[in-house]
Chain A
């Protein structure tokens, strides 16, 4: 019995350490965002000055808008690609389905630098100027793969029985899709969309390669600011960005459940897979 407790206490201690590893840095950033001492060497009292400063900063506001615009476009494209991929894959012969799956996983498994430089060469070769559209395409490339995996998992769990029932009741393919499949897929589409939005909003690599000189996203601005010096403004931006993330995660959890937010499917979901 004592060994049981010992083992438990060891893994619990590791878990506690991991939580410190995850949250201590974030906490320090949050505290420093409120720190009056601009050298950040010690606590100089609380202030909201840094937040006021970033709100007044035109560059920060502009880059925030750019990032949000790119993320919104990426989200729409990614969800559309995910939905068509999943619906198509089910209707294709086995070979086509396998090819689709392979391409989805290849997009996830290749390091982002590789796909980003590939796109860089493509746009350069055909004289397309770097900027918003190339960045959106770059983000959609990997976000749509994540979105596809999320939607596919849900589709595998809900398709079959319900759509067959609808067809038996005389609903045509379009009606079955509108009235049965789409509502059942809705939570997964929401999760896929929010995942795409966050990943696009936070992306650095594709943005750096494909934005050219005219477009700058918020993470790119932060990278530049960090390189010079650790400043209170960066902390304030970081807190703002994190707040968005927390809201998104809360939305995901509200839309589905905790496991979906981590892309974790429980064994019970897995058991209902028809493949």
Chain B
């Protein structure tokens, strides 16, 4: 009886321990991160939206608030619109290239065994940790008039001798693909790893060739990885600032550079706010469109 009492007591105590935190502990712990995100994440975004309807006084540089749609109308302006479109096209092309290159790469890694697979994974992960500036700067050397890539392309008569491949849209594309590729390869690899080996055995038993297995079994089952990869590559790429600054030489402007110039250059902060708000809206649409798939991100990040 005493024993039973004791068990009951322990159980009650355990239950109390488990129930106590939800009452106040959770809210207490939640205060610092909540304050931080309210103050430095949500408030700035609201401010950004408010500023996008503001107007800058040309003489005093003071910003007046109101319901000016002028900044939003300016988005239709040639410079801004072409920058926005260029960003979207470059993002689209580099995301597709990443997916096309990333799938066979992930496949090759998933087929490697044991120690080799570990080494290969590490080889893909290390660049992802290396500084963006360093990685893209590295391409400058290779794409210069006397760079290795230029010399190779000249040797096969794709370019004239001494041609400068830097500061072109192509250079930006090379930088974007090589910078973001690990973020496509890793989620696809994770998705492939989740495929039940029994499914592959079944495919083989049913007489599917290796190629057909890849196309009809592995590819569809890797879709969650593709979607995570597309979000991980596409979203930061759209707002990219560093890569076009280095490899575009300021000539090929993307939306990130335009926002930079509006805020820190001689530009117009309300117009910059409108562009940034538009970018934010675009991302929200993309996220909502894929919201059911976003859960996958929790698994690969």
A contact set with B: CB distance below 8 Å: 3-4, 6-8, 10-12, 14-15, 17-19, 21-26, 28-29, 32, 40-41, 80-81, 84-85, 87-93, 96, 100, 103, 105-115, 117-122, 125, 137, 140-141, 144, 146, 149-150, 152-153, 164, 167-168, 170-173, 176, 198, 201-202, 204-205, 208-209, 219, 222-223, 226-227, 230, 234, 238, 241-242, 245-246, 248-249, 253, 258-259, 261-267, 270
Contact = CB atoms under 8 A, between A and B. Distances in A.
Given A205-B256, A242-B134, A265-B299, A223 B21 contact: no
Nearest to A168: B14
Interface of B: 10, 13-14, 17-18, 20-22, 25-27, 29-30, 32-33, 36-37, 40-45, 47-48, 51, 101, 104-105, 107-109, 111, 118, 120-135, 137-142, 144, 146, 148, 177-178, 181-182, 185-186, 189-190, 193-194, 209-211, 214, 231, 235-236, 238-242, 245-246, 249-250, 255-256, 259-260, 263-264, 269, 272-273, 276, 279-280, 283, 287, 294, 297-301
Contacts of B13: 167, 170
A263 B186 contact: yes
A229 to B, nearest CB: 10
B44 A122 contact: yes
Contacts of A18: 101, 105, 124, 181, 185
A150 B299 CA distance: 10
A91 B21 contact: yes
A8 B111 contact: yes
B125 A258 contact: yes
Chain A facing B: main interface SS: helix
Given A91-B29, A107-B41, A29 B138 contact: yes
Given A92-B30, A120-B263, A26 B129 contact: no
A93 B235 CA distance: 31
Given A110-B280, A146-B301, A87 B235 contact: no
Contacts of A120: 263
Contacts of A7: 210-211, 214
A258 B249 CA distance: 36
B260 A113 contact: yes
A113 B140 contact: no
A134 to B, nearest CB: 10
B17 A117 contact: no
A265 B300 contact: yes
Quick one: which of A88, A93, A249 has the most chain B CB within 10 A?
A: A88
Q: What are the 8 closest A-B residue pairs judged by CB atoms, nearest first?
A: A111-B239, A91-B26, A118-B44, A25-B138, A88-B29, A88-B30, A15-B108, A262-B125
B187 to A, nearest CB: 8
A270 B276 contact: no
Given A87-B29, A230-B141, A21 B134 contact: no
Quick one: which of B133, B241, B242, B300 has the most chain A CB within 10 A?
A: B133
A242 B133 CA distance: 11
Given A26-B127, A263-B300, 4 more contacts: A17-B101, A22-B124, A223-B242, A227-B245
B124 A170 contact: no
B135 A81 contact: no
26 contacts: A11-B111, A15-B109, A18-B124, A26-B135, A84-B33, A88-B26, A91-B26, A93-B22, A96-B30, A111-B239, A111-B240, A117-B263, A118-B45, A118-B276, A121-B51, A121-B273, A144-B33, A172-B17, A202-B133, A204-B241, A209-B260, A219-B131, A223-B246, A262-B182, A265-B190, A267-B193
Nearest to A244: B131
B33 A100 contact: yes
Contact of A103 (B37, B129, B140, B210): B37
Contact of B194 (A125, A241, A262, A267): A267
Contacts of B125: 249, 258, 261-262, 264
Contacts of A230: 137, 140-141, 144
A208 B18 CA distance: 46
B32 A170 contact: no
A152 to B, nearest CB: 8
A107 to B, nearest CB: 6
Contact of B126 (A89, A93, A246): A246
A2 B104 CA distance: 18
A168 B10 contact: yes
A202 B132 contact: yes
B117 to A, nearest CB: 9
A164 B47 contact: no
A86 B235 CA distance: 25
Quick one: which of B120, B124, B255 has the most chain A CB within 10 A?
A: B124
A168 B272 CA distance: 57
Contacts of B132: 202, 204, 219
Contacts of B148: 24, 28
A108 B140 contact: no
Contacts of A172: 17
